[in-house]
Amino acid sequence: MSQGYAVELYFDPALENQVLKAWNVLARRQISTQLIEMESRPHITLLSSPLLDPPKLQSLIKNFASKQEPLPLTLSSVGAFPSDDNVLFLSPTPSVALLQLHSQLCDVLRREGVEIGEEYRPDTWVPHCSVAQEVPRNRMAEAFCILRDLKLPVSGYAMDVGLVEFSPVRELFSFPLGNASEA
């Protein structure tokens, strides 16, 4: 398993449950159980790197999150990456707000000397919420059909941004978007 850190965007409970529903149905059909087993939480990865420094990031992300607002999100399509990991995901509609949140975060981190890997740069990033990993090749079509039956689009909000360490997944911290917690 690869090691590293990821900055993740988390959803409100209702949207999170819609994603968990997908994880659970794929697990019940024994198509993919990885995400459940590694105790991940439904999310959109904003960036990932083996080389992040959690203590340094904590104040940066806290400060960044406090300047944002909860972000409307709609998971509107099903996708797969052309890699051997056979990852299936739900894709959010790429709203201006989502793309701005991501590029602002990249700017903040770049100014602090954090290296942004190729796949997480604002002009190449594909926002996605993983629902299955290492799907057996001969079951990709079946998994797609199951996901297509989820009654997309599902809408909600991105509520928090956090840092996890993997693998296994361990949340190091997370902060609410906006000043919800200050009230």
pLDDT in tens, 97-126: 999 999 999 999 999 999 899 999 999 999
Which tokens belong to 152?
Answer: 């997309």
pLDDT more than 90, % of the chain: 79
pLDDT over 50 at 90, yes or no: yes
Beta bridge partners of 45: 8
* Cα gap 24→132, rounded to integer Å: 10
- Considering only CA atoms, which of 98, 104, 120 is closest in space to residue 50? 120
- The arithmetic mean of pLDDT across residues 67-96, rounded, is 94
* Cα gap 131→42, rounded to integer Å: 8
Q: How confident is the model at residue 38 (pLDDT cuts 50, 70, 90)?
A: confident
Q: Which amino acid is at 173?
A: F
Tell the CATH topology of 4-166.
Cyclic Phosphodiesterase; Chain: A, (3.90.1140)
Which tokens belong to 30?
Answer: 């024994």
pLDDT over 70 at 183, yes or no: no
pLDDT over 80 at 60, yes or no: yes
* Domain boundaries along the sequence of the chain: 4-166
Q: Which amino acid is at 38?
A: M
Cβ burial of 152 (10 Å; 0-12, 13-18, 19+) is middle
- Considering only CA atoms, which of 159, 124, 144, 28 is closest in space to residue 77? 144
Cis amide linkage into residue 32, ω under 30° from 0 = no
- CB 177, CB 158: distance < 8 Å: yes
- Considering only CA atoms, which of 115, 147, 126 is closest in space to residue 45? 126
Q: How confident is the model at residue 1 (pLDDT cuts 50, 70, 90)?
A: low
- CB 3, CB 170: distance < 8 Å: no
CA 175 to chain centre: 15
What does the pLDDT read at residue 37? 85
